[in-house]
Amino acid sequence: MNEKSFIIRGNICYSEAREQLSVTDRGYLVCCKGISRGVYPVIPDEYRDLPVKDYGDRLVIPGMTDLHVHAPQYPFRGLGMDLELLDWLNTHTFPEESRYAELEYAEKAYQIFVDDLKKSASTRAVIFATIHIPATEFLMKQLDAAGLKTYVGKVNMDQNCTDTLREKDAEASLDRTAAWLRETAEKYPNTRPILTPRFAPTCSGPLLEGLGKLQKKYGLPVQSHLSENLSEIAWVQELFPWSSCYGNVYEHYGLFGKEAKTVMAHCVHSSDREVELMKRNGVYVAHCPQSNINLSSGIAPIRRYLEEGIPTGLGTDMAGGANMSMFRCMADAIGVSKLYWRLADQSRKPLTMEEAFFLATKGGGSFFGKTGSFEEGYEVDALVLDDSGIRTAKELNTKERLERYIYLAEEGGQIVGKYVAGKELLLS
């Protein structure tokens, strides 16, 4: 029997649609060769011979996708939260990322990051590295070995940053990126490359233009930052005065969704024009609520993006966010949506628990294809949750237990099983 063919038994929850949560108590999730054949209250005859992993009264949910996270920022997570974006980058982020020139430091730091990501609720992640090739390749190798499915980007930046992080010029940045792509091509089946212009201010026009060409040549996906902070947006307008909006800068150079799958972090202050462009090009939004709180960036209008049909998922943006908990991320997404509704626009209803769960699983998961749900045909990424440590005298149904886990994961919740594309990861 194929090791990726089995049945998981437990209290199974997954999103079918944005507001539609499927719950099957003591149900059976059938996995054949890593792919879901559906969730059933009793095992269908045709699957009777598959081995059953019985998780008793535990919760079983899809693995989550962290759609935006910075691996090199893990060492200073939870520190330096008293600045806005541009000062935060110069004061905390660029000095730390400069250290990844030294492979010994990078190995130590990335090993901790990968170990912790492996134990987290994320089965998939879209990750920024730094400009450094040996360090980035080490990160890719470790992530691949951990069994997580990820996109990793060697960062491009050739202006407006410290000397220690600036690639010499556009040509050097492009040559180095092409060398990194050649070096890592097909080498790490679980870890794929993604083009990563850090954000428009640190990339010259010639660099963005060259990245657009590299994108076409290799057919690569793209990740960057967009309209996170008001000073940042004003700066982009100064640097690219011809642009009609920040997103138009990426679009102009063929890096905004039309040519390739693209994810933009934040989109807190996107103009109507920008939203229209995102919508037209199917650009993903990585909503990073905790980062937006910590860096005083603002509140992204996620209800609007959902209503406009813009593909949206959640990101921790660690170390803008203090940690990599996707549970915390869901709770924060709900929380900030309530503030947005109350303070900014009363026509945009807060996110529900079902919607936040959808964003963390099926919404963001779609960046990787059919992942983030247990519907038939989806890759089986699964988490087994033990909530017995979150004590209460009250009797709760399965949906209530899931809701409570989102808010109280760190208060006694435990991930006791984790599967990626049907393969079980050993967590200890």
* Chosen from ligand GUN, Fe ion, none, partner binding at 85 (C-beta under 5 to 8 Å by type): ligand GUN
Q: Which is nearer to ligand GUN, 20 or 231 (CB)?
A: 231
State the minimum distance, in angstroms, from the CB of residue 204 to Fe ion: 20
Say if residue 319 is preceded by a cis peptide, omega within 30 of 0: yes
Q: Is the dihedral of CA 182, 187, 192, 196 positive or negative?
A: negative
Q: Under the criterion CB under 6 A, does residue 77 sit at the interface with ligand GUN?
A: no
Q: Of these, 158, 228, 379, 387, which contacts ligand GUN (CB under 6 A)?
A: 228
Residue with tokens 């806005």: 84
Q: Under the criterion CB under 6 A, does residue 317 sit at the interface with ligand GUN?
A: yes
Q: Of these, 67, 71, 89, 360, which contacts ligand GUN (CB under 6 A)?
A: 89
CA separation for the pair 7, 89 (Å, rounded): 47
Instruction: Please tell me what DSSP assigns to residue 94.
Output: H
State the minimum distance, in angstroms, from the CB of residue 14 to Fe ion: 28
For residues 197 and 211, the answer to whether their CB atoms sit within 8 Å is yes
Q: Which is nearer to Fe ion, 8 or 117 (CB)?
A: 117
Q: Which is nearer to Fe ion, 144 or 317 (CB)?
A: 317
Torsional class of 26: left (φ above 0), alpha (ψ -120 to 50), beta (otherwise): left
CA separation for the pair 144, 142 (Å, rounded): 5
CB burial readout 184-206, b (16+ within 10 A) else e: beeebebbbbbbbbbbbbbbbbe
Q: Of these, 149, 225, 261, 287, which contacts ligand GUN (CB under 6 A)?
A: 225
State the minimum distance, in angstroms, from the CB of residue 323 to Fe ion: 14
Q: Under the criterion CB under 6 A, does residue 85 sit at the interface with ligand GUN?
A: yes
Q: Under the criterion CB under 6 A, does residue 199 sit at the interface with ligand GUN?
A: yes
CA separation for the pair 354, 351 (Å, rounded): 8
239-278 residues in contact with Fe ion (CB under 5 A) are 265
Instruction: Please tell me what DSSP assigns to residue 321.
Output: B
For residues 29 and 384, the answer to whether their CB atoms sit within 8 Å is no
Total interface residues for ligand GUN by CB under 6 A: 11
CA separation for the pair 425, 182 (Å, rounded): 29
Q: Of these, 66, 158, 317, 387, which contacts Fe ion (CB under 5 A)?
A: 317
Q: Under the criterion CB under 6 A, does residue 285 sit at the interface with ligand GUN?
A: no
* Chosen from Fe ion, ligand GUN, none, partner binding at 198 (C-beta under 5 to 8 Å by type): ligand GUN
State the minimum distance, in angstroms, from the CB of residue 292 to ligand GUN: 9
Q: Under the criterion CB under 6 A, does residue 387 sit at the interface with ligand GUN?
A: no
Q: Which is nearer to ligand GUN, 47 or 74 (CB)?
A: 74
CA separation for the pair 196, 213 (Å, rounded): 13
CA separation for the pair 227, 234 (Å, rounded): 10
Q: Under the criterion CB under 6 A, does residue 227 sit at the interface with ligand GUN?
A: no
Q: Under the criterion CB under 6 A, does residue 93 sit at the interface with ligand GUN?
A: yes
Instruction: Please tell me what DSSP assigns to residue 351.
Output: P
CA separation for the pair 66, 77 (Å, rounded): 16
Q: Under the criterion CB under 6 A, does residue 320 sit at the interface with ligand GUN?
A: yes
Q: Looking at beta carbons, which residue is closest to Fe ion?
A: 317
State the minimum distance, in angstroms, from the CB of residue 321 to Fe ion: 9
Among 194, 203, 212, 195, smallest CA distance to 252 is for: 212
Q: Under the criterion CB under 6 A, does residue 100 sit at the interface with ligand GUN?
A: no
Chain positions contacting ligand GUN, by CB under 6 A: 70, 85, 89, 93, 198-199, 225, 228, 291, 317, 320
